[in-house]
Every structure is written in C-alpha cells, then in structure tokens.
C-alpha cells in the first residue's frame, strides 16, 4: 500500500510485523499491509503506538496529521535531508533581492496563466461571457507581471487576479444546490469553501513532501514572505496546481452531484475572530460528514494517481510524480543547474 488515510475517529494504530492494524474500542477494524508505504495521513483524532512510530521513522514514511476540517496540524519531522549544499544555495539565492523577485514573478505568472486558462476552457464549455471576461482580465495581468519591479506590487497583482477569479467562480458551479459567494477561510463558512480549503491543504502537504524529498527547505520561499511556521516555499510552489487540480476536483464533485448539501454538518455562528483552536473547534460553521470526507479523500487520491504527460521529458507520469518533478526542476533552478524554472502550464 503506497498511501493510507485514517479518518475513523477514535481509532488507534498498532503494528504487527509489517502489517498495520487499525483498532477501535479494542476491536480490529482493518488490517493493511505496510510494505512499500510512502505516506500516512491521519485525519482527526487518531493515535498510534510506539511500534508504529518506530516503523514510520525507520522507513522514512511521510506522516501528516490533519484536523477533521482539513487543516494541517503537524508532521512527523524526520531527520533533515543530507543535501546541505542545495539548501545553502536556496538560502543564498533567495536572499538576493533580484533573484527572489524574479522567482516570485515566475510563480505569479504561472498561477495567473493557469487560472485564466482554466476559466477560458470552462467559458468555452458553458459558453459564458462573464467567465471569458474574467479569463481575459487575468490573462492581461499575467502579461503585466514582467514589468513589475517590486515584490509588494507583485503580491498585489496576485491578490487582484485571485479576486477576479473568485468573483466569477460561482459561474463554474452547475449544481443549484450549492452556492458560492466569494472565497472565505479560517474557518470556511460554506460547503464549497470547506472543500476548497480541504483540497488546498492536501495539495500543499503534497508539495511540501515533494520539496523535502528533493532536499530543499520548505520554509523559505519568495512570493510568500517568511513567517513563523509557514512553509513559504510549499505555499509558493502549490500555486500552479490550485485551479487545475484543487478547483477542478471540487467542481467535478459538485457538478456531478457526487456531494449534496446534506453531506455537511452546519453550526449557527457569527464569523468572528476566534480566540484559540478550542473555540474554533466548537464554532466551526461547516464540516464534512465522515462518509463524504472518505469519498472525497478517495477521489483526491485517484486524481493524484491519474497519468499525465510531463512536457520536458515527454514521458507519462502521474500528477503526484509531476509535483516531485517540478520540485526537482525548482531545485535545479536554485542551484544554477538550469537556466530558469517554468511552472506547469495545463493543456488539458
């Protein structure tokens, strides 16, 4: 089994040899072979024994802890990658202002182009003038990126592009049961936003794993400023996947009516600032029911294993490996082994 997700609340994991036993209330729920395990994601309140921990550390399994709403909580921090020179190159190069600006510009441009492309494809599909207009506006912003010489302006440009994108996003939803009135988060207030947040967290985690696998430091990026505990580089590199992987997955679930508003639990609440995690937990306005979060994770995983042609090599690969190839390309760019970095531009 390459990846295992545990969502069962109150479950605990035990190990017998190389077999993972998922227990609940002293009873065996499921046994899963662990040979070849690469990634373990624990969603909600799941505990594990020392034996499991030992195996995860020994086999260097990427282990991620998430909240039931899909927020990132923790990661099992394994020993740092051995490639010191690469990390050093990352620190030195990204400290150069020009280089950092150039890198951020590449990322913003890739993101805007992908958003525009996505809107344009859907506009053609639904024959929707508003979507086309949104696409054109974002496209023109992408073209303006090269003339921006200031990181703050660049961030503003990115924010503006994203705003235009989410202003027309509701037109992509073709299921009258769901509404979308703009993007909100921390906490997300409606089902569509909740699903978007969930899938973005998953993608960011995936990107972070890819970054770590090729030896870079995920906490220093260029577009996202350095902040305590924020994996800036992962936030940077995930931008190019948001619309074509994240949004497309959420939209397909909604538009194909694989989810319905009854699949969510709602709580009445005023969207105020929360004092701490505890309060947030009590007051979160919307949450996926267990059955649907399982289906959600399964379709996410299917998507990541879908195959795609990777342009630089022309070879078939999966979306998951694509993220790794892109992270390697970024590492090559930082260490000066290749001229530039190009975000993956979707042709689908």
Partner 1 sequence: MFYLVCFDIVDDRARNRVVKCLKAYGERVQKSVFECANLTEEKFLKMKNRLEGLISDQEDTIRYYPLCRGCLKSFEFSGTGVPPEQGKFRVV
According to CB under 8 A, which one of 9, 10, 19, 156 is a site residue for partner 1? 19
According to CB under 8 A, which one of 14, 183, 230, 294 is a site residue for partner 1? 294
Question: How many Cα atoms are found within 13 Å in the side-chain-facing hemisphere of 311?
Answer: 9
According to CB under 8 A, which one of 9, 10, 28, 29 is a site residue for partner 1? 29
DSSP β-ladder status, 72-75 and 62-66: antiparallel
Distances (CA, A) of 255 to 129, 177, 288, 299: 20, 10, 17, 14
CB of 299 vs partner 1, minimal distance in Å: 10
Q: Can you give the length of the chain in residues?
A: 348
Q: Does 195 bind partner 1 (CB under 8 A)?
A: no
Q: Does 35 bind partner 1 (CB under 8 A)?
A: yes
Q: Does 26 bind partner 1 (CB under 8 A)?
A: no
Q: What angle do CA 70, 73, 151 make, to 5 degrees?
A: 85
Distances (CA, A) of 190 to 48, 166, 233, 271: 32, 14, 28, 11
Closer to partner 1 by CB, 11 or 86: give it.
11
Residues 87-106 that bind partner 1 (CB under 8 A): none
CB of 37 vs partner 1, minimal distance in Å: 10
Closer to partner 1 by CB, 7 or 115: give it.
7
Give bridge partners of residue 65 from the DSSP assignment: 42, 74
Q: Does 16 bind partner 1 (CB under 8 A)?
A: yes
Stretch that binds partner 1, among 7-15, 187-195, 199-207, 306-314 (CB under 8 A): 7-15
Stretch that binds partner 1, among 32-40, 61-69, 115-123, 181-189 (CB under 8 A): 32-40
Q: 3-state DSSP: the chain helix, strand, coil percent, rounded to 5? A: 50, 15, 35
**Alpha-carbon distance 192 to 171, whole Å?**
13
Give bridge partners of residue 264 from the DSSP assignment: 288
- Ranges of beta strands (E only) in 199-314 are 264-266, 286-288, 307-310
How would you label 80-118 residue by residue, b for 16+ Cβ within 10 Å and e otherwise?
eeeeeebbebbeebbeeeeebbebbbbbbbbbbbbbbbb
Tokens found for residue 59: 């086999």
CB of 21 vs partner 1, minimal distance in Å: 9
According to CB under 8 A, which one of 33, 156, 182, 261 is a site residue for partner 1? 33
- DSSP secondary structure of 101-114: HHHHHHHHHHHHHH
Residue 305 DSSP SS3: coil
Stretch that binds partner 1, among 33-41, 85-93, 107-115, 235-243 (CB under 8 A): 33-41
According to CB under 8 A, which one of 83, 301, 317, 332 is a site residue for partner 1? 301
Q: Does 17 bind partner 1 (CB under 8 A)?
A: yes
According to CB under 8 A, which one of 297, 323, 331, 334 is a site residue for partner 1? 297
Closer to partner 1 by CB, 3 or 175: give it.
3
Stretch that binds partner 1, among 8-16, 65-73, 230-238, 243-251 (CB under 8 A): 8-16
Q: Does 2 bind partner 1 (CB under 8 A)?
A: yes
The site for partner 1 (CB under 8 A) is made up of 1-8, 11, 16-19, 22, 29-36, 294, 297-298, 301, 305
């Amino acid at each position: 089994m390459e990846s295992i997700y545990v969502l069962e609340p109150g479950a605990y994991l035990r190990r017998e040899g190389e077999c993972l036993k998922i227990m609940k209330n002293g009873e065996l729920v499921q046994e899963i072979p662990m040979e070849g395990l690469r990634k373990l994601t624990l969603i909600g309140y799941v505990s594990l024994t020392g034996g499991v921990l030992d195996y995860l550390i020994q086999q260097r399994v990427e282990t991620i802890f998430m909240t039931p709403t899909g927020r990132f909580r923790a990661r099992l921090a394994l020993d740092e990658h051995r490639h010191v020179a690469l990390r050093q190159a990352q620190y030195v190069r990204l400290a150069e202002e020009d280089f950092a600006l150039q890198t951020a510009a590449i990322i913003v441009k890739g993101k805007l182009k992908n958003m525009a492309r996505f809107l344009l494809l859907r506009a053609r599909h639904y024959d929707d003038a508003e979507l086309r207009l949104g696409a054109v506006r974002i496209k023109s912003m992408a073209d303006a990126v090269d003339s921006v010489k200031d990181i703050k302006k660049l961030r503003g440009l990115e924010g503006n592009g994203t705003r235009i994108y989410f202003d027309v996003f509701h037109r992509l939803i073709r299921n009258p049961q769901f509404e979308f009135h703009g993007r909100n988060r921390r906490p997300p207030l409606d089902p569509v936003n909740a699903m978007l947040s969930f899938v973005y967290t998953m993608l960011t985690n995936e990107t972070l794993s890819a970054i770590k696998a090729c030896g870079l430091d995920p906490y220093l990026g260029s577009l996202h400023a350095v902040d305590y505990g924020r994996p800036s580089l992962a936030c940077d590199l995930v931008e190019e996947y948001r619309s074509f992987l994240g949004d497309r997955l959420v939209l397909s679930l909604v538009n194909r009516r694989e989810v319905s508003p009854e699949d969510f639990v709602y709580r009445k609440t005023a969207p105020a600032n929360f004092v701490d995690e505890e309060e947030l937990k009590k007051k979160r306005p919307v949450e996926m029911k267990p059955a649907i979060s399982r289906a959600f994770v399964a379709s996410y995983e299917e998507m990541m294993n879908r195959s795609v042609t990777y342009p630089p090599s022309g070879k078939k690969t999966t979306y998951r490996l694509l993220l790794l190839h892109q992270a390697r390309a970024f590492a090559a760019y930082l260490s000066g082994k290749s001229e530039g970095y190009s975000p993956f531009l979707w042709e689908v």
